[in-house]
């Protein structure tokens, strides 16, 4: 084995997947069997750590599917599962070799993940990894808010621990060298300088920083603010501990981003999406995605279907696509779908039914588009959302069934949805600017860059206090931006933009490097609300 895969580290990866993630007890003989088999695979293919973790996860998942959620992993059954997977992979690899881009079914790789179908993962400090929890059976607005912020704290804190070199204590003492002290560590150290981490809150007319054990007041009088910060953000504050529970801040910053490749390498493949994962599928995508030159998405927001001009403009657009034989792979249609908010159930229910029936009829006028294009519908803040909470359910089937009968690849999903390409309809720029603790001075980046970076660095779509942005607390995990997505679509009434946010890896600190990982962030702006 390579240095990266000592027997101990491979054993730990096996135990983590079987014991921690799947709740199985794997005996020593079964562990040894997997170590030998995986060791051969690693040597032959020179695999990286995250790829090996993916294989172990696939084996554990297949074992549970074949044998049920039993307590102990039996060696004979494990051998059957491993051999069956190996035969399947060999066949799939042979099939891949004979594939051409035209023969590949792109639909197989297209998944829309509804927020209410996402697995629920929680980071465990004791296990040093994520633990899968059962999803709540009932949506509750009364569950405690405390676990939300505790889980968000743990999520970002475990990320920071891997970037410890970024935060050196400002004194010459080595006690906290290369690590962040807890707020309790500051007690008795008045006059010393620190970098501290916690949740920014506001109470009794003053800002304070909280972690899981303590809280201190922040003096921001000499702190120059260059970015957006709101209550509910987790921040890093540099400054001096001046007296008991009082910290004089000289500068603050958001937690640094983590390259999603580094995240997966550290944590292995976790089923954040709730869909099957296959290394063979990944191989097909890598091999052919550059040759799918006409595979593109069309994204529109604020598509007011109660306006005749909207249908006229849509008909013109669809005609051009069909006449030019440029059939979009996906249409992402984001609400609001009416020009007025949903208030009266009787009146607006009828309007929604007519609106989607009419849209289905329009799309059916263009047979190639209706047959081959996917249509993804994401509700807006005013679509059947009377309490403003996130995540938001999809538009009910009773209003969309006729459209789906004419457009076979239509999917009505939640707001937000998916994870590698995240789609979220919220007027987020206005919300952040309005609730910012202080207007940034000498800001070197545009508003849209600051806003998108804030969400990505907070690893969350709604990093605000609950009164500012209500959420279903048991579904807070569906609002995470972790790992960092490939694309973040923030449909907003704000002006349209398309930007790349660099995500530095642990070994790459060059923002201008062409190989630097980037998250592409965009706002399509309003189709109907901004004059088409």
- Do 21 and 56 meet the contact criterion of CB atoms below 8 Å apart? no
pLDDT of residue 171: 42
pLDDT of residue 131: 80
pLDDT of residue 96: 53
- Do 78 and 34 meet the contact criterion of CB atoms below 8 Å apart? yes
pLDDT of residue 275: 73
pLDDT of residue 106: 81
Give me the phi and psi of 453, to 5 degrees please: -65, -40
pLDDT of residue 113: 93
pLDDT of residue 193: 92
Please, what's the b/e burial string for 13-35 (b: 16 or more CB within 10 A of its CB; e: otherwise)?
bbbbbbebbbebebeeebbebbb
DSSP 409: T
C-alpha span between 362 and 221 (Å, rounded) = 59
Q: Tell which residue, 405, 380, 409, 305, has the closest CA to residue 350.
A: 305
pLDDT of residue 178: 60
Task: Read off the tokens for 336.
Answer: 């609001």
- Do 157 and 172 meet the contact criterion of CB atoms below 8 Å apart? no
pLDDT averaged over 10-residue windows placed end to end, the chain, 532 residues: 55 84 86 88 73 81 78 87 78 56 76 92 80 68 71 93 61 58 92 94 94 94 92 96 94 93 74 67 70 86 96 96 95 95 80 96 97 97 84 94 97 93 95 91 86 97 92 92 95 94 67 72 92 76
pLDDT of residue 422: 97
Query: What is the per-residue DSSP string for 203-258?
Result: ETTEEEEE-SS-EEEEE-TTPPP-S---TT-EEEEEEEEEETTEEEEEEEEPPPP-
The partner residues of 238 in beta bridges, in order of sequence, read 195, 251
pLDDT of residue 280: 62
pLDDT of residue 372: 95
C-alpha span between 24 and 77 (Å, rounded) = 13
Q: Sort 2 into a burial class: Cβ within 10 Å, 0-12 / 13-18 / 19+.
A: exposed
DSSP 526: B
pLDDT digits (tens, 9 = 90+) for 138-183: 565 555 566 899 999 999 999 998 876 555 544 444 565 567 899 9
* Strand pairing report for 193-203 and 421-425: unpaired
C-alpha span between 278 and 136 (Å, rounded) = 28
3-state secondary structure 253-271: ECCCCCCHHHHHHHHCCCC
Cβ within 8 Å of residue 402, ≥6 positions away: 356, 357, 360
pLDDT of residue 387: 77
pLDDT digits (tens, 9 = 90+) for 374-432: 999 999 999 987 678 999 999 999 999 999 999 999 999 999 998 889 999 999 999 99
Query: What is the per-residue DSSP string for 129-178?
Result: EEEEEPPPSS--S-S-SHHHHHHHHHHHHHHHHTTGGG---SSS-STTTT
């Amino acid at each position: 084995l390579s240095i990266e895969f000592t027997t101990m580290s491979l054993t730990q990866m096996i135990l983590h997947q079987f014991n921690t993630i799947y709740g199985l007890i794997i005996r020593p003989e079964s562990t040894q069997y997997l170590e030998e088999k995986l060791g051969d695979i690693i040597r032959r293919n020179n695999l990286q750590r995250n790829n090996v973790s993916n294989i172990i996860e696939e084996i554990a998942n297949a074992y549970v599917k074949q044998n049920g959620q039993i307590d102990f992993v039996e060696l004979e059954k494990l051998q059957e599962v491993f051999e069956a997977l190996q035969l399947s992979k060999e066949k799939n690899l042979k099939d891949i070799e004979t594939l051409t881009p035209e023969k590949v079914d792109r639909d197989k790789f297209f998944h829309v993940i509804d927020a209410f179908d996402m697995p629920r993962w929680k980071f465990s400090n004791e296990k040093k990894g994520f633990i899968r929890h059962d999803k709540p059976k009932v949506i509750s607005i009364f569950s405690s808010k405390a676990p939300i912020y505790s889980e968000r704290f743990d999520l970002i804190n475990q990320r920071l621990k891997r970037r410890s070199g970024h935060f050196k204590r400002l004194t010459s003492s080595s006690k906290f060298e290369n690590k962040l002290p807890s707020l309790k560590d500051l007690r008795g150290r008045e006059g010393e300088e620190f970098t501290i981490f916690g949740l920014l809150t506001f109470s009794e007319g003053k800002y304070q920083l909280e972690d899981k054990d303590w809280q201190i007041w922040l003096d921001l009088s000499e702190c120059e603010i260059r970015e957006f910060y709101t209550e509910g953000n987790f921040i890093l504050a540099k400054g001096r501990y001046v007296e008991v529970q009082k910290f004089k801040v000289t500068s603050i910053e958001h937690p640094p981003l983590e390259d999603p490749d580094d995240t997966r390498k550290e944590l292995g493949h976790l089923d954040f999406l709730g869909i099957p994962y296959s290394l063979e599928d990944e191989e097909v995508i890598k091999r052919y995605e550059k040759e799918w030159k006409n595979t593109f998405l069309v994204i529109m927001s604020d598509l007011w279907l109660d306006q005749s001009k909207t249908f006229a403009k849509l008909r013109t657009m669809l005609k051009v696509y069909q006449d030019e034989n440029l059939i979009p792979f996906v249409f992402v249609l984001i609400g609001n779908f009416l020009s007025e908010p949903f208030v009266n159930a009787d009146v607006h229910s009828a309007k929604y039914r007519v609106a989607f029936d009419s849209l289905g009829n329009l799309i059916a006028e263009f047979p190639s588009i209706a047959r081959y294009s996917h249509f993804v519908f994401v509700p807006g803040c005013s679509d059947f959302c009377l309490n403003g909470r996130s995540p938001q359910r999809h538009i009910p089937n009773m209003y969309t069934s006729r459209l789906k009968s004419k457009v076979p690849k239509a999917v009505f999903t939640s707001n937000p949805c998916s994870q590698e390409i995240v789609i979220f309809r919220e007027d987020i720029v206005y919300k952040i600017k309005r609730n910012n603790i202080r207007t940034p001075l000498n800001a070197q980046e545009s508003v849209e860059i600051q806003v998108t970076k804030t969400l990505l660095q907070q690893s969350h779509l709604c990093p605000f206090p609950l009164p500012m942005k209500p959420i279903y607390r048991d579904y807070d995990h569906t609002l995470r931006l972790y790992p960092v997505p490939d694309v973040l679509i923030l449909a907003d009434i704000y002006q349209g933009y398309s930007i790349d946010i660099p995500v530095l890896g642990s070994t790459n600190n060059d923002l201008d490097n062409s190989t630097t990982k980037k998250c592409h962030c965009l706002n399509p702006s309003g189709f109907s609300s901004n004059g088409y």
